[in-house]
Structure 1
Amino acid sequence: MITKATLEDVSSLNKLINSAYRGESSKKGWTTEANLLEGSRTNEMELIEIIQDPKNTILKFTEGNQILACVLLVEKEQQLYLGMLTVSPDLQNSGIGKKLLFEAETHAKAIGLNAIVMTVISARTELIDWYKRHGYTDTGAREAFPVSDIHIPISEGKLEFMVLEKKIA
């Protein structure tokens, strides 16, 4: 079931997101960033701020009262920003990510937006290829990767974001 996350979900979301992106647990899945970054992907304070902002929606995929996946959707002026698409490392390649992408499109249409944009670390070619197979295209735009106490690069190469976009009818 896909529903909107609430403040009561923050702790579970934090554990899920960090387990899928960073650390040893993330290496079970194919979407890990553990070879590029260390530290946390997010924290509870950031998630609280995200949920409290009315322009943001976190959709969660649950089964048996357990959050197994989520995605952040942010209303921008003419487009919906999609971020933190997360599926539990044990369940990646099961179709849950596709379901969340579809729900993101439904959400965009419901609020009158006809495009979805996202940023992906340009070194994550397998992930970029997955998004391209789902209708996203490279806009050619690049953004600097934010280094902070949460996002600690361990890769030799320079990290940057690639901006992807999908037009929706």
Structure 2
Amino acid sequence: MPTVRVAEAADAPTLVSLVRRAYRGEGGWTTEAALLNDERIDEAQMLKKIEDPETTVHVAIDGGRIVGCCELVRLENDKVHFGTFAVEPELQAAGVGRYILAQAETAAAKMGVTCVEMAVIAQRLELIAWYQRRGYAPTGETRPFPFHALINGGALRDDLHFVVLQKSLGV
């Protein structure tokens, strides 16, 4: 399995490329390509995440290259938000994502939080099921989709929204 470390500013271009391939490409087991045709994230947004003191971006490295990433954003009430989760499409379904998620949960527990939450596009049923198999449960909360924030593209449907999932870390 890969090693995981905290991202550095120099990682931003590689991470942007990875996230775009993972979210908008056709090669992995799950993609948003049928829902959205934008660029997902740009370098300025990634740098902002990396430099935000309330956010920790983690990178997974295998064979000297970045093969995955995620972010943990500290929230109030002993929670973190898990997001910007991406795995190289050719490594999806090979256990890398499961490993990165487990490492993120371990990092969250070390931060002293008791709950990890995430927001997943409601139409991505296969991804929601994947998270549920890893102990995440829908909270019943939904959030609007940020159509206004799409970069160089748009949504392919107008009914997108997020469902919130969470998992207790049992700390």
Q: Structure 2 CA distance, aligned partners of 1:31 and 1:119?
A: 16
* Counterpart AA for 1:88: E
TM-score (norm 1): 0.94
Q: Structure 2 CA distance, aligned partners of 1:158 and 1:5?
A: 34
CA shift for structure 1 position 64: 2.2
Superimposed CA distance per residue, residues 55-74 of structure 1 (whole angstroms, 9 cap, x where no aligned partner) = 11111111122100001111
Percent identity (aligned) = 38
Choose from 6, 22, 46 the match for 2:8.
6
Secondary structure of the 1:11 match is helix
* Counterpart AA for 2:110: A
CA shift for structure 1 position 84: 1.4
Residue matched to 1:124:
124
Residue matched to 2:142:
142
Residue matched to 1:67:
66
Choose from 150, 153, 156 the match for 1:154.
156
Residue matched to 2:27:
28
CA shift for structure 1 position 31: 1.9
TM-score (norm 2): 0.93
Q: Structure 2 CA distance, aligned partners of 1:107 and 1:64?
A: 23
Count of aligned positions: 165
Residue matched to 1:104:
104
Secondary structure of the 1:61 match is strand
Residue matched to 2:48:
49
Q: Structure 2 CA distance, aligned partners of 1:54 and 1:31?
A: 30
* Counterpart AA for 1:50: K
Secondary structure of the 1:50 match is helix
Deviating above 2 A after TM superposition, structure 1's stretches of 4 or more consecutive aligned residues are none
Q: Which runs of 5+ in 1 are unaligned?
A: none
Q: Structure 1 CA distance, aligned partners of 2:30 and 2:69?
A: 14
Q: Structure 2 CA distance, aligned partners of 1:132 and 1:64?
A: 30
* Counterpart AA for 1:108: A
Q: Structure 1 CA distance, aligned partners of 2:60 and 2:87?
A: 9
